[in-house]
């Protein structure tokens, strides 16, 4: 029988940190695949090697950005040593990072979809990059009114989840 122990609820890692860590892992995997694809295409099919090579700097910049966000969202940066509940600042950071994560996923999905559709419809491989870029921007223009809804809905869901966990008063959905 233990006496004198305090039942403190141990806070885990912040949700924003977990989201950015997962995004970082996915970006690293995509960066590795883009580098491997660039090498293989350069060796075996040079006319389209530039497509995989174009993704490398974009993915690298995304990785740098996500690494910065992941470092800022560590528990050691957000919490004091004796903190037992989630602070409002941490909730706001989690909500913002949920929106950022949703925007990154949507961008990645639209770019991959545009590349696949362009590869299926274009016969001249030298035109594939231009057609994929046009399809990507056309899809973004068509879905632009809904992107902000996706981002705000994911942010609102994250806020609701965190407020239930922290037992803070809820903010009405706007």
Report the Cα 28 to chain-centroid distance in Å. 12
> For position 3, what pLDDT does the model report?
47
Q: Is residue 60 part of a domain?
A: yes
Q: Is residue 52 part of a domain?
A: yes
Q: Is residue 82 part of a domain?
A: yes
User: pTM for this structure?
Assistant: 0.72
> For position 163, what pLDDT does the model report?
75
Q: Pseudo-torsion of CA 147, 150, 156, 158, nearest 10°?
A: -120
Domain count, the chain: 1
Q: Is residue 55 part of a domain?
A: yes
What are the mean pLDDT values of the chain's consecutive 10-residue runs (174 residues total)?
48 77 92 93 86 88 89 74 73 82 86 87 83 88 84 83 68 58
Q: Is residue 2 part of a domain?
A: no
Q: Is residue 10 part of a domain?
A: no
> For position 171, what pLDDT does the model report?
56
Q: Is residue 75 part of a domain?
A: yes
The C-alpha atoms of residue 86 and residue 108 are separated, in whole angstroms, by: 31
Structural domain including 32 reads 15-166
DSSP secondary structure of 86-105: --HHHHHHHHHHHHHHHHHH
């Amino acid at each position: 029988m233990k006496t004198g122990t305090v039942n403190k609820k141990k806070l885990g890692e912040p949700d924003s940190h977990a989201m950015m860590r997962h995004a970082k892992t996915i970006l690293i995997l995509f960066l590795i695949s883009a580098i491997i694809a660039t090498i293989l295409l350069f060796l075996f099919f040079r006319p389209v090697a530039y497509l995989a090579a174009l993704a490398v700097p974009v993915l690298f910049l995304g990785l740098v950005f996500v690494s910065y966000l992941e470092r800022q969202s560590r528990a050691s940066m957000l919490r004091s040593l004796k903190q037992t509940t989630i602070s409002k600042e941490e909730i706001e950071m989690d909500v913002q990072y949920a929106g950022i994560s949703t925007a990154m996923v949507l961008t990645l999905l639209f770019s991959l979809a545009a590349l696949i559709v362009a590869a299926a419809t274009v016969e001249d491989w030298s035109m594939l990059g231009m057609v994929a870029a046009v399809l990507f921007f056309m899809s973004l223009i068509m879905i632009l009114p809904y992107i902000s809804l996706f981002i705000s809905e994911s942010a609102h869901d994250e806020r609701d989840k965190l407020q239930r966990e922290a037992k803070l008063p809820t903010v009405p959905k706007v």
